[in-house]
Structure 1
């Protein structure tokens, strides 16, 4: 059941960090995202780091996504028609997370990697299964790009009856007009769907934590192995 007054976090939130990879966040990346609601992409990265730290303290499940394509482009599908250059090819530096974030092999307990081939993080992934495990009703979204993967994932969440909360200062787009338009469209879809970072971190400071996350951090499993 959706919360009737979800506020910045809903009732049982999860944090989803979308594609914090070199190809999107490094100036030399194939699809660099230079445009945001703050002064620079570097500031967006620092804001994401602050948001992740707050989510960890609040015992939220944290889910990271990584877009990855085979180097022969056999899984590109309709993306072959896109204006975007080749990007996030498997085994390239562009596919990797920025070094300022944990690597996929070094994620803390109750943090998970979802690999994807398409913009919408729900498409042919196990994201819905993870959210069900932690009884999630709200997705807090950060990452890139505002006008593509963030936008389409928020819409995918909406279609699956989740609350979404896109953290404005933690997103960046391929152009200023597209970044701004994506935020406007998401606000149309859910009128409180775009939230300022301060509101989200303040709410996280007061959040009691997800009990399943606490169990994973304490025992290493979502179930009580001693029973």
Structure 2
């Protein structure tokens, strides 16, 4: 059986961006499943890797990103997803979790062959990250209830593209962890 990692994408945020009002309802729906997935991973010693935007703050590190998000107006959405001391954290600047980050190297060092992608935004960062994982010959799973979207129709199309074009497994969190 291939070694897996749970990758939590862009969930440490203040939601201070143009599409936040469209994203927030979907994020609120996805958070319980993301929490469930993280808890399951921690209980089964599956690596949990947070990959998060740096919001253009090139001097910031993961602690500062977390502190800023927890001080923001939507701390209630960030608190349940707080990284623990065993969690790994990679800072990114663009849509894909792989673009100009050390993630591919980290995954190879952990001998991970399968990534479980959760977080936001389905039709942007999740989609581009799934494609980049696929071209790196990683197995990809996306629990559809553990990803948040801005545009529901685009998110559904993105999930279908991941499944059809990248061979990604699209499932529910419950089916994945049971």
> What is aligned with 1:115?
91
| Greater share of residues in helix | 2
For the 8 Å contact 1:121–1:153, the answer to whether it is kept is yes
Residues 139 and 71 of structure 1: is their aligned pair in 2 closer, same or farther, counting only changes over 3 Å? Answer: closer
Query: Which runs of structure 2 are paired with 1:93-108 in the superposition (5 Å)?
Result: 93=72, 98-102=78-82, 107-108=84-85
Structure 1: gaps spanning 5 or more residues:
1-9, 73-87, 203-227
Larger Rg: 1
1:124 alignment partner, one of 96, 100, 107: 100
Report how many aligned residue pairs link the two structures: 166
Question: Could you tell me how far apart the structure 2 residues matched to 1:70 and 1:41 are?
Answer: 22
> What is aligned with 1:31?
19
Query: Which runs of structure 2 are paired with 1:116-195 in the superposition (5 Å)?
Result: 116-195=92-171
Residue 134 (structure 1) shift = 1.1
2:31 alignment partner, one of 45, 58, 62: 45
Q: Provide the aligned C-alpha RMSD in A.
A: 2.7
Secondary structure in 1 matching 2:51? strand
Residue 189 (structure 1) shift = 1.9
Residue 34 (structure 1) shift = 4.7
Residue 23 (structure 1) shift = 4.3
> What is aligned with 1:15?
6
TM-score (norm: length of structure 1): 0.65
Secondary structure in 2 matching 1:141? strand
For the 8 Å contact 2:10–2:119, the answer to whether it is kept is yes
Residue 66 (structure 1) shift = 1.2
Secondary structure in 1 matching 2:50? strand
For the 8 Å contact 1:23–1:31, the answer to whether it is kept is no
For the 8 Å contact 2:120–2:149, the answer to whether it is kept is yes
Residue 69 (structure 1) shift = 2.9
Question: Could you tell me how far apart the structure 1 residues matched to 2:131 and 2:147 are?
Answer: 16
Question: Could you tell me how far apart the structure 1 residues matched to 2:117 and 2:51 are?
Answer: 11
Residue 118 (structure 1) shift = 0.4
Structure 2: gaps spanning 5 or more residues:
59-64
